[in-house]
Structure 1
Amino acid sequence: MSFFSDPDAVARYAEGPVRLVPGFDGLQRMTTLLLRERVPATGNVLVLGAGGGLELKRFADAEPGWRFVGVDPSAEMLKLAEATLGPLNARTQLHEGYIDTAPPGPFDGATCLLTLHFIPAEQRLQTLKALWLRLLPGAPLVVAHHSFPQAPDDKARWLKRYAAFAVDSGVPAADAERAIAAISEKLPVLSPEADQALMTEAGFEGVELFYAGFSFKGWVGYKPR
């Protein structure tokens, strides 16, 4: 999306998730805890959609022995990630591109937060399979993104709730309305059932919902041992 190549918009990126994603801080904390269940103290974690660096910094602050590979298609967002990480860059490798750009690993865990809703279903499955290939047996994948029923009335109801949360967080109502129109028209959002089925089809087992915040859902799944 053009937003992620606009330097001014990117500079304001950190304001967005807190205002638009219900429980964003809790989502990051829960993701850290889910990784910690399986990732060893000196583990390697792959972060797909790493631009901005918010989750990279959270993970790195929480676990001083972890090392990271971050992948994102936006050069501007990766610059922001570098600035956000500061001295933590010493434990992080950043790559511009998509999942196929990521090194083969294998990694002890992976995350993909607020990213998969940009990817069409057929490409999303390939992305999940590519993540699976890069993980060690037993390693977790944690994902979270827009996911809500796709019947027209249901879709409209959940998008209105997304907009209401944004307005309650201080976003101008006109901006919130434009946002839900863009999501409805441009994002290839899937239903929660379809999202979970794709993770299973990609080879992950034990797939469980761990987070639900209005239009956002999050799952954890594992590569079989």
Structure 2
Amino acid sequence: MSSFSDPEAVARYAEGPVRMVPGFQHLQRMAALLLAERVDANGHVLVLGAGGGLELKAFAEFQPGWRLDGVDPSAEMLGLARRTLGPLASQVRLHEGTIDVAPEGPFDGATCLLTLHFLPREERLRTLIAIRRRLRPGAPFVVAYHSFPQDLEGKALWLERFAAFAIASGMPSAQMRGAITAIGNRLPALSPEEDETLLRDAGFEDVALFYAGFTFRGWVTYGP
């Protein structure tokens, strides 16, 4: 995650997700639609891992009446979020830090996109519990991140597919070869089955898969 404090890497951030995450813009749209099933036009939404501001902008444009609280540990990425939001910034409050700095809510919904794969299992569970505690009963939580088989053969296969997609989308081949080595060796990714179990262990209910793109999975679930 050190790259999120590198000004040059931050400046190029917006290029990465579009090229590396299958259907990235549609993922944001699906997240907004899933939130809107239960969040009314004047709802309050928590966005964890909001640095860069891409989903904040997508949500603010989708529903101008939503109030958004965005949380991210990187000051540089929050700066990028402010620039990305532009005039939409009036809908958003930004907070530097982890889930612990987020307002207590209660929120009408929450999202965490392309973030939780950075957290080890126990910290991931603690974060999920903290999100759930900030939600109104029955509020939706939309989450998506790297989640793929963890046996050696399955991991290698899906990481190769992830790299092939990114290279076909314009990412440099050498960069992606390094990326999948780093992801395979250092990213504390879990299998989809383990991730679904963590969501339930955190107290969420009705866990449902809504998105799958090579090494990425996305779920919608609800506070009790």
Q: Distance in 1 between matches of 2:28 and 2:92?
A: 18
Alignment of 1:1-225 (within 5 A): 1-224=1-224
Cα deviation digits, residues 57-105 of structure 1 (max 9, x gap): 0000010100000000000000000000011111110000000110100
Deviations 1:19-54 (A, max 9, x none): 000011110110010000000110000000000000
After TM superposition, which residue ranges in structure 1, 4 or more long, deviate above 3 angstroms?
none
- SS of the residue aligned with 1:182? helix
CA distance, structure 1, for counterparts of residue 188 and residue 172 of structure 2 = 25
Give 1:2 shift: 1.2
Letter in 1 for 2:151: A
Amino acid at match of 2:25: D
For residues 64 and 173 of structure 1, the distance between their equivalents in structure 2, rounded to whole angstroms, comes to: 40
Structure 1 residue 154, shift from structure 2 partner: 0.3
Secondary structure of residue in 2 paired with 1:136: coil
Structure 2: gaps of 5 or more residues: none
Look up the equivalent residue of 1:145 and give its one-letter code.
Y
CA distance in 1, matches of 2:173, 2:15: 16
SS in 2 for 1:171: coil
User: How large is the RMSD of aligned CA atoms in angstroms?
Assistant: 0.5
Question: Residue 64 of structure 1: SS of its match in structure 2?
Answer: coil
Structure 1 unaligned regions, length at least 5: none
Number of matched pairs: 224
Q: Give the SS at the match of 1:217.
A: strand
Q: Secondary structure at the residue paired with 1:59?
A: helix
C-alpha separation between the residues in 2 aligned to 1:4 and 1:54? 14
One-letter code of the match for 2:185? E
Distance 1:9 1:172 in 2: 15
| CA-to-aligned-CA distance 1:160-213 (integer Å, 9 cap, x gap) | 001000110111111110010111111100000000010011011010000000
Counterpart of 1:68, as a letter, is L
Equivalent residue letter for 2:50: A
Paired residue type of 2:21: V
Partner SS for 1:135: coil
Percent identity (aligned): 68
User: What is the DSSP-based 3-state SS (H/G/I as helix, E as strand, rest coil) of the residue aligned with 2:78?
Assistant: helix
Q: Distance in 2 between matches of 1:198 and 1:172?
A: 34
